[in-house]
């Protein structure tokens, strides 16, 4: 019994949960359809308002019909009881030899007899009669007919000498249901004789029910017709709007020749004409912008290629002079060094312009191979580490102990890391630069954090613009051309990864590179956070478990990788703020 009860309880709970989920799904589907469909809202609102109007009109009309039918019944009943009172007075007066009970019964029989012209053949319809004489001292009460069906309130009015009527539910041998009861005192020789006529309202009730049913049927038919009319009318508006929406979507996808059909001269036709004019203007402007962009890219590419030949010639001459610079006086020797340095920068600029033009033309390709990204970080550090040593900037590197293998273009990723580290050194303001790497099942991230001047609000997007500089007066130690970050974000996108920036004035900046471990996977999250946690939030966060000591990584040439600790700072310098991170 216990196990059977438990099974029944589980079964009930299961059915209840299934029903609840079904109702929730239905509610969500109806809500979504209501929000998305203008036609549904128009039809529903039309039906709601029409239903309210039909119900109000039906209530008013039904009330008026009911009152009119009952008024006719009351007037006929009053005429009927006046004739019946005359009949009763004559019967009671002419039957002096009979007892009071016999006289009352005879009068009731006469009134209810269908052969009597004063009985049930009148306008008021069939009725039953009640005659009663209340008891008075030694005289006992006498009555004929269903006395118990007469309400006490009505008897009070009649006893007081007033004619009155009342609606009540009666239960007699021949009828059971609502009825109209009319009472009046008589002027016969029998004192206090009261006459009541009970008129069943079955026919009136049937008439009112028929009227209500007819009105309900008519209202339902009218509601359906109104729904169809609302559907057709709203369709005249919704169909052109939906057509405009589809054409706008195709226009946004690049089908610039899409236009709306123009039919007639109404508001929808004017909407179509305006839409087509707008589409034509946008198409013309987009075409012009594409032509300008193509011209700009072609110009950049052509200029870069055309400058290579004279640059090669100048490079050969400069190298020849530089090789014999020891034979020159100090002034010419210094000029030769500056010439070679600027030629290097000019050549780098041309290479980056060519790279940008490849990205703009969409012809940049990846040379993917599975590599350890830790080696990419070390190679980048080896290339720009001398800049940190010359500026007296400490590089704090934190790499995973295990290999981080990813399918990437090693040349492009190393260039991204080299640009990020060089940019951080340029803006570190003699504070340390922190490089961190972490990976999860799908992605790997590298953050480069400096504690220098930082970024103003909105500049985290501008830093990836071409030739953009936050402070034009700042000297670039790395000798950059202003295209490094622009190329870096394009390289990251080429890997289907992300390159993001964060910074605050006086708090430094952080750049985060997130790449998929497997080519073709989409990056949705990053293993490393980018923004520092406020101090009060940091105290509430759970402390991480102690990590095992990581084996040392091979260091790049000329760079000492030091453990993360708070460095010593010169007097007057603000030390960096060590903080946990959030993404």
- Least reliable range by pLDDT among 170-179, 274-283, 294-303: 294-303
Confidence of residue 375 (pLDDT cuts 50, 70, 90): very high
Phi, psi of 16 (to 5 degrees): -65, -45
Which of 477, 480, 552 lies closest to 469 in space, CA to CA? 480
Confidence of residue 96 (pLDDT cuts 50, 70, 90): low
What does each C-alpha distance from 346 to 252, 298, 311, 317 come to in angstroms?
40, 19, 9, 15
SS3 of residue 310 by DSSP: helix
Tell me which DSSP letter residue 520 carries: T
Residues composing the chain: 583
pLDDT of residue 98: 61
Q: Taking 60 as the threshold, does the pLDDT of residue 569 lie above it?
A: no
Better-predicted residue by pLDDT, 527 or 239 = 527
Q: Taking 90 as the threshold, does the pLDDT of residue 561 lie above it?
A: no
DSSP string, 361-423: HT------EEEEHHHHHHHHHHHHHHHHHHHT--EEEE--SS--EEEE-HHHHHHHHHHHHHH
pLDDT of residue 571: 39
Q: Taking 70 as the threshold, does the pLDDT of residue 420 lie above it?
A: yes
Residue 220 C-alpha from the chain's centroid: 35
Residue written as token pair 């007097």: 571
pLDDT of residue 538: 43
Better-predicted residue by pLDDT, 11 or 172 = 172
What does each C-alpha distance from 76 to 80, 168, 336 come to in angstroms?
6, 18, 131
Question: In whole numbers, what is the pLDDT of the chain averaged over residues?
Answer: 78
Q: Taking 90 as the threshold, does the pLDDT of residue 491 lie above it?
A: no
pLDDT in tens, 49-74: 989 999 999 899 999 999 999 999 89
What does each C-alpha distance from 17 to 8, 14, 20, 23 come to in angstroms?
14, 5, 5, 10
User: Is the CB of residue 419 less than 8 Å from the CB of residue 485?
Assistant: yes
Backbone conformation region of residue 479, classed left if phi is above 0, alpha if psi is from -120 to 50, else beta = left
Which of 339, 345, 379, 364 lies closest to 494 in space, CA to CA? 364
Whole-number Å distance between alpha carbons of 169 and 201: 10
Average pLDDT score over residue span 227-236: 86
pLDDT of residue 2: 47
Average pLDDT score over residue span 346-360: 74
Better-predicted residue by pLDDT, 2 or 245 = 245
Measured distance between the N- and C-terminal CA atoms of the chain, rounded to whole angstroms: 57
Distant-in-sequence, close-in-space partners of 498: CB < 8 Å, separation ≥ 6 = 492, 512, 513, 514, 523, 526
Q: Taking 60 as the threshold, does the pLDDT of residue 573 lie above it?
A: no
- Least reliable range by pLDDT among 31-35, 199-203, 370-374, 519-523: 31-35
Q: Say how many CA atoms lie within 13 Å of 552 toward its Cβ.
A: 7
Q: Taking 50 as the threshold, does the pLDDT of residue 396 lie above it?
A: yes
Helix (H) or strand (E) holding 540: helix 535-540
pLDDT of residue 450: 92
* Segments in 95-201 forming alpha helices (H): 100-112, 152-159
pLDDT of residue 475: 56
Average pLDDT score over residue span 449-469: 84
Average pLDDT score over residue span 93-101: 64
Q: Say how many CA atoms lie within 13 Å of 36 toward its Cβ.
A: 7
Q: Say how many CA atoms lie within 13 Å of 22 toward its Cβ.
A: 6
């Amino acid at each position: 019994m216990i196990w059977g009860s438990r099974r029944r309880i589980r079964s009930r709970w299961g059915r209840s949960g299934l029903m609840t989920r079904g109702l929730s799904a239905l509610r969500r589907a109806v809500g979504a359809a209501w929000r998305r469909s203008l036609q549904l809202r128009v039809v529903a609102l039309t039906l709601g308002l029409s239903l309210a109007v039909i119900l109000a009109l039906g209530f008013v009309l039904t009330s008026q019909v009911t009152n009119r039918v009952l008024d006719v019944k009351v007037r006929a009943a009053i005429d009927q009881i006046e004739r019946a009172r005359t009949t009763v007075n004559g019967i009671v007066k002419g039957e002096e030899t009979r007892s009071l009970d016999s006289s009352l019964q005879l009068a009731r029989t006469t009134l209810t007899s269908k052969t009597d012209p004063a009985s049930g053949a009148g306008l008021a319809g069939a009725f039953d009669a009640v005659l009663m004489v209340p008891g008075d001292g030694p005289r006992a009460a006498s009555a004929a007919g269903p006395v118990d069906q007469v309400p006490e309130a009505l008897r009070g009015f009649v006893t007081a000498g007033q004619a009155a009527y009342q609606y009540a539910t009666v239960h007699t041998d021949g009828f059971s249901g609502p009825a109209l009861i009319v009472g009046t005192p008589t002027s016969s020789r029998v004192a206090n004789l009261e006459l009541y006529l009970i008129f069943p309202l079955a026919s009136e009730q049937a008439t009112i029910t028929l009227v209500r049913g007819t009105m309900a049927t008519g209202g339902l038919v009218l509601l359906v017709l109104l729904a169809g009319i609302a559907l057709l009318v709203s369709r005249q508006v919704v169909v052109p709007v939906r057509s405009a929406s589809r054409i706008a979507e195709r226009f946004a996808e690049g089908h610039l020749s899409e236009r709306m059909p123009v039919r007639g001269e109404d508001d929808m036709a004017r909407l179509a004409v305006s839409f087509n004019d707008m589409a034509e203007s946008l198409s013309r402007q987009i075409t012009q912008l594409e032509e300008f962009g193509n011209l700009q890219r072609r110009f950049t590419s052509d200029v870069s290629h055309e400058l290579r030949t004279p640059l090669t010639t100048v490079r050969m001459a400069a190298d020849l002079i530089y090789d014999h610079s020891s034979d020159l006086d100090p002034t010419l020797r210094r000029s030769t060094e500056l010439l070679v340095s600027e030629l290097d920068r000019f050549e780098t600029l041309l290479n980056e312009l060519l790279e940008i033009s490849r990205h703009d033309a969409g012809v940049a390709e990846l040379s993917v191979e599975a590599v350890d990204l830790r080696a990419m970080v070390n190679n980048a550090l080896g290339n720009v580490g001398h800049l940190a040593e010359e500026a007296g900037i400490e590089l704090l590197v934190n790499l995973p102990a295990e290999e981080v293998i990813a399918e990437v273009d090693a040349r492009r990723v190393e260039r991204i890391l080299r640009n990020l580290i060089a940019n951080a050194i340029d803006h570190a303001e003699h504070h340390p630069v922190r490089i961190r790497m972490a990976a999860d099942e799908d992605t790997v991230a590298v953050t480069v954090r400096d504690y220098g001047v930082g970024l103003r609000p909105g500049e985290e997007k501008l830093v990836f613009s071409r030739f953009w500089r936050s402070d034009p007066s700042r000297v670039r130690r790395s000798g950059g051309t202003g295209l490094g970050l622009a190329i870096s974000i394009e390289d990251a996108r080429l890997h289907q990864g992300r390159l993001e920036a964060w910074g605050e004035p006086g708090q430094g900046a952080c750049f985060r590179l997130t790449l998929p471990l497997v080519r073709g996977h989409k990056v949705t999250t990053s293993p490393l956070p980018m923004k520092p946690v406020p101090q009060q939030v940091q105290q509430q966060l759970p402390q991480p478990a102690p990590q095992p000591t990581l084996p040392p990584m091979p260091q790049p040439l000329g760079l000492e990788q030091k453990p993360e600790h708070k460095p010593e700072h010169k007097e007057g310098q603000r030390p960096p703020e060590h903080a946990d991170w959030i993404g």
